[in-house]
């Protein structure tokens, strides 16, 4: 296993002054267009409202079926991560998702890898910034950092994505 994602428990997210990029910093238009290209819908939740389908609570993105829910204070990495959980699933499993997408280590690794790749499609984000934010947030990897895992320990994730026609 290459990754243990968000090693903190639900409701234990870092404070908003943690320096991670949030959707309010980049806007919803580019992420919405990116996800639409993969058949997903990004739905903005009003400030202060609970995010539907959020496993972690607080400002973390939520997923229900092919919809991704987020607020302006949702970290970009969280929106991408939850979106990628949906993208790595077959359509029949995706339709049944509510809050928790998978228990599969292989799917989790592929999700982490794909979120980094897709970050390059968002203006003002990019993979380097996203990997830094993932480390700040508490993602933990066997090799010690997101960068090290992505560059040196993600061949299974690459294979998984390639076999499904997803970007690597």
Domain boundaries, the chain: 21-163
Q: Quick one: which of 20, 12, 16, 54 has its CA closest to 134?
A: 20
Instruction: Give the pLDDT score at 43.
Output: 99
Instruction: Give the pLDDT score at 12.
Output: 45
136 in Cβ contact with 19 (< 8 Å): yes
Instruction: Give the pLDDT score at 144.
Output: 92
Sequential pLDDT tens for the chain (168 residues):
455 444 333 444 555 568 999 999 999 999 999 999 999 999 999 999 999 999 989 999 999 999 999 999 999 999 999 999 999 999 899 999 999 988 799 999 999 999 999 999 999 999 999 999 999 999 989 899 999 999 999 999 999 999 999 999
Instruction: Give the pLDDT score at 103.
Output: 79
Alpha carbons within 13 angstroms on the beta-carbon side of residue 87 total 33
Which residues sit opposite 137 in a β-bridge?
none
CA dihedral over 141, 143, 144, 149, signed as positive or negative: negative
Q: Quick one: which of 88, 41, 103 has its CA closest to 66?
A: 41
Please tell me the distance from the alpha carbon of residue 151 to that of residue 36, in angstroms, as a whole number. Answer: 28
Measured at the CA of 109, the angle between CA 108 and CA 110, to 5 degrees, comes to 90
Please tell me the distance from the alpha carbon of residue 164 to that of residue 120, in angstroms, as a whole number. Answer: 20
- The pTM assigned to this predicted structure is 0.91
Rounded to the nearest angstrom, the gap between the alpha carbon of residue 16 and the centroid of all alpha carbons in its chain is: 17
């Amino acid at each position: 296993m290459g990754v243990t994602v968000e090693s903190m428990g639900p409701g234990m997210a870092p404070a908003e002054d943690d320096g991670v990029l949030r959707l309010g910093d980049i806007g919803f238009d580019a992420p919405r267009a990116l996800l639409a290209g993969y058949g997903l819908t990004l739905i903005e939740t009003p400030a202060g409202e609970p995010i539907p389908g959020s496993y972690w609570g607080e400002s973390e993105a939520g997923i229900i079926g092919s919809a991704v829910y987020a607020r302006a204070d949702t970290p970009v990495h969280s929106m991408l991560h939850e979106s990628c959980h949906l993208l790595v699933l077959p359509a029949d499993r995706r339709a049944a998702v509510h809050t928790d997408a998978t228990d599969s280590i292989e799917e989790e690794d592929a999700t982490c890898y794909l979120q980094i790749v897709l970050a390059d499609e968002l203006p003002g984000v990019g993979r380097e910034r996203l990997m830094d934010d993932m480390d700040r947030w508490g993602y933990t990897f066997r090799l010690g950092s997101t960068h090290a895992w992505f560059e040196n320990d993600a061949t299974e994730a690459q294979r998984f994505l390639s076999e499904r026609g997803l970007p690597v």
